[in-house]
Each structure stands twice: as structure tokens, then as C-alpha cells.
Amino acid sequence: MMDPYRMILINIVSVILLIGLICTYKYIFPKKTPPLLPLLIIISCLPLISLLRKGTYESGDLTLHAVFLQSFFESLKEGIIIPQWAGGLCGGYGCPVYIFEYVLPYYVGSIFHALGFSYIASTKLMLASGFIISGIGMYLWVKDHFGKIAGFVAGLFFLYAPYHLMDMHFRVSVGEVLSFAPMPYLFLWGKKIVETEKKRYIVYFAVTFVLLLLSHTSTTAILLPMVFIYTLTIWIRDKKRNIKKVIHFITALILGLLLSAYYWIPALLEVQYTWYSKGFEISDFKPFFEYIYSPVLFGFLFQGHQGELRLIIGYVQIFIVIFSCFLLYKKTIKNNDKPLLLLFLFFFFILFLLLQSFSKPVWLHTPLLSTFILPWRLLVPIALITAFIGGIVVKNYKNKTFIIILCLATILSTILNWGNRKTIPEDPNAYNTHWSLYTEYFEPNNTFYENQHASRVKLIPDLVLDRAPTNIGVLSGEAEIKELTRTTTRHTYILSAGTDVVIKENTFYFPGWVVTANKKTIAINYKNTNKIGVIIFTLPKGLYAVTVEFVDTPIRKVSKIMSSVTGGVLIFYILFQLIFKKRQFNSPKVLSKDLL
């Protein structure tokens, strides 16, 4: 039996077994509802069964991100807590991938690899853990608003949103997949801040904000205004509202920005030195109906036979949006829930309009939006929005049969998409050959190296397509070179020059690379017309201890100090609170009061 059909059969059997398990529970405990959170976690494992297959995906970027993970893990092993330079990528010349690329997936993957899993398996486990945590977060957030049943349904909507499954099994954009996990928690902590005034939620919000930003910056950019408006709405409808709660929320936002300053400030200010800032604009708008219906296998397969993606919002998700409008018209929605439903319907229709090609001018002229490149990435926050709307509908339309049908339709309508079409054997050489040539947006910016404003960015095929043959070489003159040590960010050599020499160190230059010879800084020439972008330096005749090292620029230093100081203050505050509360609890006055 072909791999895709075997996987579908396994999925069907898994669903039947789960339904049998639920029916058995109801038979044994007829008056009890199954514990919903454990049940949601079990259901969230159904689309993860396919990850147990050996090998990597036939399509998508699973292998690519495993290679990124390997380079990231090597940096961590070298003691670099905040990896920024990927020494093994870009044809062996290295590039500053981790200054700009999302990094949380690689931190999580590194934990699994440190436990003994392969890079491919670690990447799969990272995807699986993010998937399960996202469902739990949605359940907790919506449950806090509308109760357990609403939270359960919203969790299913979020987990089984078509784009969520496509991202995990077909595209494997690990940053987007992992960004699903912190999103609902950010809304939950914002709600708790303005409702309870408990300071621990400020810390929770700030940390969750950092996790989301490190998962996917584009998702963060679109989600942050939504979180702000939502939290303000919660505050306005609170009868006990006061300005102090708003100050707490703003404080949480500022703390999140300061904690993550080491990441977003260099990414924002140093992106000008990469091709990313020159060669892309928003594109790939899909026709209206492509977001509504998939033409493959009667609408139930979200990937075409040639690997093309069918980027639908979801049939049940669209139904629930339309049905919620009907309930509004019929005045079935309770007054307390109306403002939230109207708000999230507003979010939905705004984002849906942004998916259409006529919105391109808005994308081009709105700061940060243009970094999306692909407008259909908005399907990530749309999945959250429709899940929340589903929770509101279930709370206000309490029909048990309707809820059961809704849950079954949400799960079963996606069953053909619970795994990649097939897996192929893992190639151990892929880490050092094909994928290590990957450059995407982070190879040198030609305009930066030539120090001129060119209208178009040109490729550098001699550097991008060919792996560096040696780490260092002589362009002119006579010299003997011995490599002493080589880590990701520090290369040391002994160089004996018989004449004046021009040396080529096969590393892409990027601000932060410094060359020293006998502890004296040497000028770097990265504008050589034949080897543009590579570190080239000149030495007179003599014997030298040469070090080529990647250090922090002033921008990176300041941003790291900002994050370190903020983190230190938060840790001090948390420890102080723990010690203070412990002493307060153990004081004679408290003890005597408790005894009485």
C-alpha cells in the first residue's frame, strides 16, 4: 500500500479507537462528562501520529530547518548562548542567519537533540510539542471567558485549522508553527492583568511576548495591535476598572520589548546589510475563492498533487463566522459577549480583506506589514480569531447535538491532511552538502559591499553556489598558513609571510567581523571585485598570529545590555517576592492567625 493511503487508513483507525474510548467512558460513567482538557490533549495527538514515521518529508522545509538546527546547536555547544552567525551555511562562507531568522524553534529543537534525538527527530518533536501546547493555551484562554465546553471547542478549532495542519505537515515553516503556541497565552495574560491586578501576570505576559517574537516576528507584528485592543476592551467592560490596570498592561508590553531588545533591535537596524531589505515585496495574493474552497479531492485535501498549497480558512471556521453573525442578528448573543464577538468579527473581516490583492497598497505603505512577503501568513491569526468566535457561539448556543456535530466536522474534515504525503529516508550527508548552500535572504547585500545605491540587487553566483574549498588562502604573495582553532565565530591561524601578502579568509563579511594580527586590528577589504563580500586583508612580510573573530557591534552590545538589565531586574523582583512572601507566611502574627 502506498505511504499516503496507509497513513490515511491509520488516521481513520485512530479516530475510530478514540470514539470507542469515549463511548466506553460514557458507558461506565453515564452521568459524567469526560475530562475535557485531557481529552483535548489526546485528540491533538491524532495529527501527530504521522510524525512517528522514519525519515523526512518528501516536500516542505523539514530538512532545511534540521540543518539550521544543527548549525544552531553547534554554536550552543561552543558556549554561545545567543547564536547569531551560522558558520556552516551559505556555501560554507557563513551568514548572520540567527540575527534575523526566528530562533525559538532552534532552542526548543536543541533541547531534544541534547536528549539524544537526531536533528530530524528533534525538529519533529519541536513541531509536535508546539502543536499540543497551542491547543492547551486556546482551551485555557476561552475557558476563562466562556467555560470548559467553549474552551474545548475553541481548542479543536485552533488545532484543526487547515493552515495549522498545512504549516506543520506540508510547508514546515517552524517559526509559524511554533508561533501558534504562545498566541492564546498572550491574550489570556493580558486579560488577567486588567482583571486581577496580580503582578505575576505582568511577568507572564512579558515572557510570553518574548517567546512569540522569537517564534515569528511577522505574526507578532500583526497580533500585537489585536492584543492591545482586546485587552483595552476587557478593561473598559470591567466595572472595577482603574487606570492602574492599564499602567500594568503597558508595563508588561514595555518589559517584553526590553527583554527581547537583544533580538529585535539588531534585526531592525542591521537588516539594511542583507538582501532581505532590497529584493522582496509583498506578493502571491490568492483569488478570493482559494481561501474558501480547495479543488483537490472534493475539497478535503489542502495540498495539490504537485505540492501546491490550498490555503483555505476552513469550512467549519467559515461556517462559525457566518453563524455567529446570524446569532447576532437574532439577538441570541448575550450582552456581555456581544462586544467581544463584534471585536473579533472586526478582526476577521479586516484580515480577510488584507488577504485580497486590492489591499496591496496598504501592505506597501504600512510599516512592518511589508516584511510578511506572503499575505496568506495572516491565516495564522485568522485561525486564532475563528477559534475564539467558535467559543462564543458554543457558549451562547447550547445545543448538545450541534456541539458534537461541530466537533466531529472540525476533526474529520481535515483527516486527509494529518501528515505529509510521504516520507523519504533521512540523508546524513544533506547536513553538509545541498542544504548548507542555503542562503535565502542573508547572503551579502551587493549594494552594501560596493557602497553605492544600485537599483537592483545582483546575485553572486561564484560565492552562493560553490562551497568554499579551503578556510583561508593566499591571493597574492608567498605565505605559509596553519590553522590552529576554528569555531563558529573565531578562527585562529599562524601565518608566515615571505613577502607582502593578500589573504582571503573564506567568510562572508558582515558588521562585527574583526581581523587582528599580533593583537593589532587589520583593515578588512570586502569590496574586491573578484571576491566581493569575502574577508580579504593585507599583511607585510613577517610572522603573525592571526585571529578572525565575529564580535558584537555597538548596536548589538547596547541591545544585549538592555535585555540583560531588564532580565536581571525581573529575576531580582521575583526572588524578592518569593522571599518576602515566605517570611510573611512564617511570621508569628500570620501563624497565630492561621491557628485561630
Q: Of 421, 433, 425, which Cα lies nearest the Cα of 67?
A: 433
Per cent of the chain over pLDDT 70 is 88
Helix, strand, or coil here: 293? coil
- Predicted local distance difference test score (pLDDT) of residue 529: 61
Confidence check: pLDDT of 237 > 50: yes
Confidence check: pLDDT of 130 > 50: yes
Torsion sign across C-alpha atoms 89, 90, 94, 97: negative
- Predicted local distance difference test score (pLDDT) of residue 381: 96
Give the pLDDT band of residue 2 (cuts 50, 70, 90). low
- Predicted local distance difference test score (pLDDT) of residue 503: 93
H or E element, residue 251: helix 243-259
For residues 499-512, average pLDDT? 92
CA–CA separation, 108 and 85 (whole Å): 18
Tell me the whole-structure pTM to 2 decimals.
0.90
Highest mean pLDDT among 272-286, 329-343, 377-391, 532-546: 377-391
Confidence check: pLDDT of 276 > 70: no
For residues 274-295, average pLDDT? 80
For residues 115-127, average pLDDT? 95
- Predicted local distance difference test score (pLDDT) of residue 458: 32
- Predicted local distance difference test score (pLDDT) of residue 45: 96
Burial class of residue 555, CB neighbours in 10 A (0-12, 13-18, 19+) = middle
- Predicted local distance difference test score (pLDDT) of residue 530: 65
Domain residue limits, the chain: 3-180+280-434, 181-276+554-596, 468-550
Confidence check: pLDDT of 435 > 60: no
Instruction: Give the three cell numbers for residue 462.
Output: 561564484
CA–CA separation, 47 and 564 (whole Å): 39
Confidence check: pLDDT of 584 > 60: no
Find the range with the poorest average confidence among 183-192, 329-338, 483-492, 578-587. Answer: 578-587
Confidence check: pLDDT of 67 > 50: yes
For residues 281-291, average pLDDT? 86
- Predicted local distance difference test score (pLDDT) of residue 527: 80
Which residues sit opposite 476 in a β-bridge? 502
Q: Are 570 and 206 contacting, i.e. CB atoms less than 8 angstroms apart? A: yes
Confidence check: pLDDT of 497 > 70: yes
Confidence check: pLDDT of 36 > 80: yes
- Predicted local distance difference test score (pLDDT) of residue 582: 62
Find the range with the poorest average confidence among 442-456, 466-480, 488-502, 542-556. Answer: 442-456
Confidence check: pLDDT of 465 > 70: no
- Predicted local distance difference test score (pLDDT) of residue 280: 60
- Predicted local distance difference test score (pLDDT) of residue 431: 54
CATH topology of domain 468-550: Immunoglobulin-like (2.60.40)
Q: Write the DSSP string, 143-169.
A: HHHH-HHHHHHHHHHHHT-HHHHHIII
CA–CA separation, 539 and 504 (whole Å): 11
> Helix %, strand %, coil % for the chain, to 5?
60, 10, 30
Give the pLDDT band of residue 416 (cuts 50, 70, 90). very high
For residues 170-174, average pLDDT? 92
- Predicted local distance difference test score (pLDDT) of residue 457: 30
CA–CA separation, 227 and 319 (whole Å): 24
CA–CA separation, 167 and 164 (whole Å): 5
- Predicted local distance difference test score (pLDDT) of residue 239: 79
Confidence check: pLDDT of 460 > 60: no
Instruction: Give the three cell numbers for residue 473.
Output: 588562502
CA–CA separation, 555 and 262 (whole Å): 9
- Predicted local distance difference test score (pLDDT) of residue 87: 86
- Predicted local distance difference test score (pLDDT) of residue 366: 82
Burial class of residue 22, CB neighbours in 10 A (0-12, 13-18, 19+) = middle
CA–CA separation, 63 and 66 (whole Å): 5
pLDDT: is 13 or 436 the higher one?
A: 13
Helix, strand, or coil here: 482? strand
Give the pLDDT band of residue 579 (cuts 50, 70, 90). confident
- Predicted local distance difference test score (pLDDT) of residue 442: 47
Q: Are 144 and 193 contacting, i.e. CB atoms less than 8 angstroms apart? A: no
pLDDT: is 582 or 550 the higher one?
A: 550
Instruction: Give the three cell numbers for residue 412.
Output: 474529520
- Predicted local distance difference test score (pLDDT) of residue 296: 86
- Predicted local distance difference test score (pLDDT) of residue 271: 84
CA–CA separation, 490 and 471 (whole Å): 12
What radius of gyration do the chain's Cα atoms show?
27
The DSSP bridge pattern shows strands 490-497 and 501-508 to be unpaired
Q: Are 336 and 237 contacting, i.e. CB atoms less than 8 angstroms apart? A: yes
Q: Write the DSSP string, 527-576.
A: --SSSTTEEEEEE-SEEEEEEEEE---HHHHHHHHHHHHHHHHHHHHHHH
Q: Write the DSSP string, 76-135.
A: HHTT-SS---BTT-TTTT-B-HHHHS--HHHHHHHHHHHTT--HHHHHHHHHHHHHHHHH
Give the pLDDT band of residue 418 (cuts 50, 70, 90). very high
Torsion sign across C-alpha atoms 233, 160, 412, 41: negative
Rounded to a whole number, what is the largest CA-CA distance in the chain?
Answer: 91
Helix, strand, or coil here: 57? strand
CA–CA separation, 171 and 310 (whole Å): 11
What residue has cell string 501528515? 419
Find the range with the poorest average confidence among 99-113, 114-128, 432-446. Answer: 432-446
**CA distances in angstroms from 132 to 13, 116, 129, 280, listed in the order given:** 21, 22, 5, 34
CA–CA separation, 544 and 536 (whole Å): 16
Amino acid at site 46: L
pLDDT: is 150 or 365 the higher one?
A: 150
pLDDT tens for each residue of 317-341: 999 999 999 999 999 998 889 999 9
* Beta-carbon contacts of residue 497 (< 8 Å; ≥ 6 apart): 477, 478, 479, 539, 540, 541, 542, 543, 544
- Predicted local distance difference test score (pLDDT) of residue 590: 46
pLDDT: is 495 or 596 the higher one?
A: 495
Confidence check: pLDDT of 549 > 60: yes
Confidence check: pLDDT of 594 > 50: no
Confidence check: pLDDT of 461 > 50: no
Confidence check: pLDDT of 20 > 60: yes
Find the range with the poorest average confidence among 102-106, 265-269, 306-310. Answer: 306-310
Arithmetic mean of pLDDT over the chain = 87
Q: Are 562 and 574 contacting, i.e. CB atoms less than 8 angstroms apart? A: no
Which residues sit opposite 491 in a β-bridge? 486, 548
* Beta-carbon contacts of residue 286 (< 8 Å; ≥ 6 apart): 311, 355, 376
Instruction: Give the three cell numbers for residue 219.
Output: 505574526
Confidence check: pLDDT of 447 > 60: no
Confidence check: pLDDT of 187 > 50: yes
